[in-house]
Amino acid sequence: MSLLLVLMIAAIAEQAGARKRAAAALAAGSAPSQEVPATLTPESAGAVLGALQQAWVNVTGQASDHEGLLILAAQGAMETANFAKLYDFNLGNIMHTAGDGYDYNHRPEVPQASMIYRVYSSLLEGAEDLVRWAIHHGAGDALQNGDLSGYMNALRAGCYLGCIGNEVPGGSVVSQSDYDTYEGGIQSYVNRFASVKPIAPPSPFALPPIGWGGAIAAVAVLGGVAYVATHIKDGKLQLPRIPFLSGARKAHGVAVPTPAVAAAPGLAVQPQPQPQPQPSATALASAVFVSPEGARQVSAAPATQAPAQAPFTHLPEDFGDDDDAAAA
């Protein structure tokens, strides 16, 4: 029950954080932007799919269509050479605009100074912004239905690769064949990722790995806390009694106090008889006695110990003859 509660709190906190990030990203001038160095952040297809799956829930509050996630992941793979050239978790190579609240950078492979890209702090943040970007460009329904043709129509309407017939930086003119080629590449990655299992992004409440030593220490600490919590009575910790240690103290002549016995209500506790010291033989011999008449006191003389007699081991051979001679 406690683990379920922790997971629920983590999910609620993650959704709340996603809403805050979305509000900050959409608010113009929400934070000053600055240029930062471009950093490669390569990821696996499974990690990207897992991040997109969580991002869709965070942004829309609804479960996503798996085919739609495959389309977004495939587009990210097209843009980043199968995530090997993924910079700063920008899955869609989304461009930076003034006042969008994101830091930005230039790519070493892109010579145009005007081509600047958003920078994200995590894969989940980049996936959330890609989902928002697709919905903002009218591709949300197509993704929810797993419709690649509808998704491409939305990209074409938004001049994603450039408006058909217009010239783009570099001198080339955009045509329908450019969009057909792009769609074919996305479809190829969709087929490749169809068997890939999404990997859930790490929770912000996840603990770092602690190893075997840390695990043993954690178990010991938790065990101690549990013992203290279950052995406190009247504000005092009840320590266990160890019988063999008490017996060892008695065997070596160490006095062990007798534990006090609490009296039940209405009952009297009988005192335990204490052993009396035994007097020595000399003390008995020198004791003072009172005569039967009670007229005087007589002090007995110190008693002397009779010499010990050796026991007979056998009778003398002439034992019987002596008795006969004496009788005669």
Examine residue 25 and state whether it is found in any structural domain, yes or no: yes
- Do the beta carbons of residue 136 and residue 59 sit within 8 Å? no
By CB neighbour count within 10 A (0-12 exposed, 13-18 middle, 19+ buried), where does 260 fall?
exposed
Examine residue 146 and state whether it is found in any structural domain, yes or no: yes
DSSP state letter for 238: -
Residue numbers of the domain that contains 147: 11-193
Q: How many CB atoms sit inside 10 A of residue 150's CB?
A: 16
Q: What is the largest CA-CA distance in the chain?
A: 167
Collapsed DSSP state (helix, strand, coil) of residue 36: coil
Of the CA atoms within 13 Å of residue 164, those in its CB half-sphere come to 10
Q: To which H or E segment does residue 281 belong?
A: helix 281-285
Which residues touch 203 (CB under 8 Å, ≥6 apart)? Answer: 10, 14
Examine residue 36 and state whether it is found in any structural domain, yes or no: yes
Alpha-carbon distance of 15 to 21, in angstroms, equals 10
Which residues touch 128 (CB under 8 Å, ≥6 apart)? Answer: 18, 21, 22, 55, 58, 59
Alpha-carbon distance of 67 to 64, in angstroms, equals 9
Q: Comparing C-alpha atoms, which of 246, 61, 236 is closest to residue 135?
A: 61
- Do the beta carbons of residue 161 and residue 178 sit within 8 Å? yes
157-178: pLDDT as tens digits: 999 999 999 988 778 899 999 9
pLDDT score at 68 = 94
DSSP state letter for 33: -
Examine residue 242 and state whether it is found in any structural domain, yes or no: no
- Do the beta carbons of residue 66 and residue 112 sit within 8 Å? no
Burial 207-231 (b: 16+ CB within 10 A, else e): eeeeeeeeeeeeeeeeeeeeeeeee
pLDDT score at 146 = 94
Examine residue 6 and state whether it is found in any structural domain, yes or no: no
Burial 268-291 (b: 16+ CB within 10 A, else e): eeeeeeeeeeeeeeeeeeeeeeee
What are the CA-CA distances from residue 108 to residues 74, 121, 247 (Å)?
Answer: 23, 19, 80
Examine residue 175 and state whether it is found in any structural domain, yes or no: yes
Examine residue 142 and state whether it is found in any structural domain, yes or no: yes
DSSP states of 55-115 as a string?
A: HHHHHHSSPPPHHHHHHHHHHHHHHTTTTTT-BTT-TT-PBP-TTSS--EE--TT---TT-
Residues of the chain with pLDDT under 50: 1, 25-29, 248-249, 253-254, 256, 288, 290-291, 294-301, 312-313, 315-320, 323, 325-328
Alpha-carbon distance of 62 to 231, in angstroms, equals 48
Examine residue 257 and state whether it is found in any structural domain, yes or no: no
Q: What's the residue count for the chain? A: 328
Number of domains present in the structure of the chain:
1
294-315: pLDDT as tens digits: 444 444 445 555 555 555 445 4
pLDDT score at 326 = 46
Alpha-carbon distance of 216 to 88, in angstroms, equals 37
